[in-house]
Amino acid sequence: MSAAAVRRAPRRVVIVGAGMAAARLAEELRAGEPDPARLSITVLGAEAEEPYNRIMLSHAAAVSGAAGGATPVARLKPAGWWERHDITLRTSTPVAAIDRVTCEVELAGGERVGYDHLVLATGAAPRIPPVDGIRSPGGGLAPGVFTLRDAAGQIALTAHLAAHPGPVAIVGAGFIGLEVACALAAAGHDVVVVHPRAWPMNGCLDAGAGAVLVRSLAALGVRTVTDARATSWDGATLGLDDGEVRCRTVVLTAGSAPRADLARDAGLEVGHGVIVDDELTTSDPAISAIGDCAQHRGVVSGLVAPAWDQAVVLAARLSGTDPGARYSGGTRVTRLKAHGLDVIALGELAGDVYGSAGGDDEAVEVTTLCEPARGRYARVDVVAGHVAGAALIGHPEPIGILTQLYENALPVPDDVVSVILGRAEAVAAQTPSTMPAAAVVCRCNGVSKGDLVAAWTDGARDRDALAESTRAGTGCGGCSAAVDGICGWLAAAG
């Protein structure tokens, strides 16, 4: 059958999961094929909530706890949006099994839903470290222990903090753990972070950055205990392999694991996650996978921006707008944005600047600036004239241009120190007037300066309107200042 014939045929796309990747996929599918008679879209979510912004859960939990009441999650779509766009959204609807022979999914209650193409967007589950007493006799988490991967976890944590406002222990110092820690500290809680490695965010920062980060966290009221593992919990004390933390609340942020059980039980190829190719297709051509559950070229991203990129590619293929669309992988950009703390990591650092993998490697030019007392650290690794990796703490000035240089593989100016310091002659490319139209402003949503200019021309004349039109700023929020700057430039230009 030709691609055109496939394009005309009625199709049923069923999406399992109702997280941020699933919502973006459904939106892009309907934009690609507005006629529900040609393309029906069904989203099956296990949670009671409509799709919401998971990135904001730590903030919502902290604000709710400080206010003494529940703050609702930030829904991705306004009330009635799903109905208006002829997308069937079913919440509180867990999927129990996939029948690949009949092309149906079986719901927990026994109902079956047929599909022509099935998309797994089941996300990831929090990892529960092996700590004595961390689980209740029934297998759930013990009283006082929480994860923060979904709205239910946020609601439970909020209620507990209201009843037990004492110290909080965070187990795990990745970027999610530190976001939670900073949010709770800003809300007035005494916070201790326990991490088994030598420094926080060790997967993307070097030792120098880690040391500055520990000092910066302390200035925000967050104490960090490194090289320590949690070993026991009794409801009032979190035991460590060398010491203890007295607390009434423990939040587990020790990583996550792709939810791949459905795929595995259905006989699909599964590694760390559900294995997909560049078409985002699994070992069954009628089934795709995107987001935190998908493993592409050996990588499970765990970040929202690559998940949304995958959603755009898959929607183009399934709706017929671009049957040849392919996903080749995303760049590594991790940003921790908390009150009083700005950390960004790009790419991959070559190694310790003073070790054989860094400073002694003549192929890698390493530039570092370190001001621990001011909470500032910057390192940029350059290979063959291009940014290979960077780590920045307390240096917001060069983030825009370094991200552009890294993501677009552009040549790095000779004076890297000037770039880090944000000097005008080195960062002219990031000013609104000289920034290339193709420069990405909102990485979470892939929104370029050109997209913002086009939306402004179409009548979106402030940041809220631009966000509604382009989605800029609706992910992590780290691009808000850049969007404001472009708004000001466009307004001044008339």
Give the model's confidence band at 8: pLDDT under 50 very low, under 70 low, under 90 confident, else very high: very low
Give the model's confidence band at 39: pLDDT under 50 very low, under 70 low, under 90 confident, else very high: very high
Given this model, what pLDDT does residue 5 score? 37
Mean pLDDT to the nearest integer, 286-290:
98
Distance separating alpha carbons of residues 41 and 27, to the nearest angstrom? 10
* Nearest alpha-carbon partner for 428 in 448, 450, 407, 413: 413
Given this model, what pLDDT does residue 121 score? 98
Sheet holding 168-171, edge to edge: 145-147, 249-252, 168-171, 191-194, 222-225
Tally Cβ neighbours within 10 Å of residue 88.
16
Most confident of 10-14, 151-155, 223-227, 437-441: 223-227
477 pLDDT above the threshold of 70: no
Within 8 A by CB and 6+ apart from 321, the residues are: 32, 33, 315
Given this model, what pLDDT does residue 374 score? 93
Given this model, what pLDDT does residue 7 score? 42
Half-sphere exposure of 281 (CA within 13 A, CB side): 12
Tally Cβ neighbours within 10 Å of residue 268.
20
Mean pLDDT to the nearest integer, 416-427:
73
Q: Determine which helix (DSSP H) or strand (DSSP E) holds 380, and give its type and residue range.
A: strand 376-383
Given this model, what pLDDT does residue 3 score? 42
Tally Cβ neighbours within 10 Å of residue 297.
11
439-469 residue pLDDT tens: 667 766 667 788 888 888 888 888 888 888 8
Mean pLDDT to the nearest integer, 265-278:
98
Give the distance between the most distant pair of CA atoms in the chain.
67
Cβ pair 287, 120 in contact under 8 A: yes
* Nearest alpha-carbon partner for 41 in 147, 119, 146: 119
- SS3 category, 350: coil
pTM of the model: 0.86
42-86 residue pLDDT tens: 999 999 999 999 888 887 777 655 555 556 678 899 999 999 999
Distance separating alpha carbons of residues 153 and 61, to the nearest angstrom? 9
Distance separating alpha carbons of residues 254 and 134, to the nearest angstrom? 13
Cβ pair 281, 287 in contact under 8 A: yes
